[in-house]
Amino acid sequence: MEEMIFVDKPSGMTSFGAVARVRRILSEREGHKVKVGHTGTLDPFATGLLILLAGKATKKAPELTKLDKVYEATIRFGETSTTGDPEGEITISGTAPSRAEIEAIIPQFTGKIQQTPPAFSAIKVNGQRAYKLARAGKAVDIPSRTVEIYSLEILSYDTPELKIRTHVSSGTYIRTFAEDIGKALGCGAYCSELRRTQIADYKIEELPLFNLPE
């Protein structure tokens, strides 16, 4: 068996949870345990495209994880979150900026930039997932990395929420992007909504999506 599976992950489900459900369904269909893996996770609060690989196709995972992504996100200004998303502890941190202020600073966040992945992420630190260490109250030291923001489009700004569409390199964290732009504007920010709409040339609206039961 060799299969590429496209999933529209709902909010509230982990990527590993999606993998487990697809594995169970395929294993029941095939009559034996089927190996299933992902090609890059999505945060639990996020929705959108996950590409899963089943059977012999799992060997292709390393090449697929390096593909560019397109996201649509909502950034909420004037508040911060301990996790960079709606699942953390929210604190009022400032006054939302004007659209002109946002547009003036955006060029600093396009092209190749340095970014430090969040502590609450699936990155492995000394063999353990960073988010597990962070939840346990342990210090998480993740080195910064170079990522690339190929394009950044403002879809709307209804104060204090900015909706954007961005095309980014693999390894880019939109949560971190939201926090960094909030810091640069001096008001704080976090990513309140996130949807992945495309991975390389795979567009979610054009794909045969796997029915993922709750």
Q: Which residues are known to be catalytic? A: 43
CA distance from start to end of the chain: 25
Residue 187 to residue 93: CA distance in whole angstroms: 6
Q: Helix, strand or coil for residue 91?
A: strand
Measured torsion, CA atoms of residues 179, 183, 189, 193, in degrees rounded to the nearest 10: -30
Contact 157, 102 (CB under 8 A): yes
How far apart, in whole angstroms, are the C-alpha atoms of residue 188 and residue 128? 29
Transcribe 135-164 into DSSP letters.
HTT-------EEEEEEEEEEEEEETTEEEE
Cis status of the peptide bond prior to 160, with omega within 30 of 0: yes
Helix (H) or strand (E) holding 191: strand 189-199
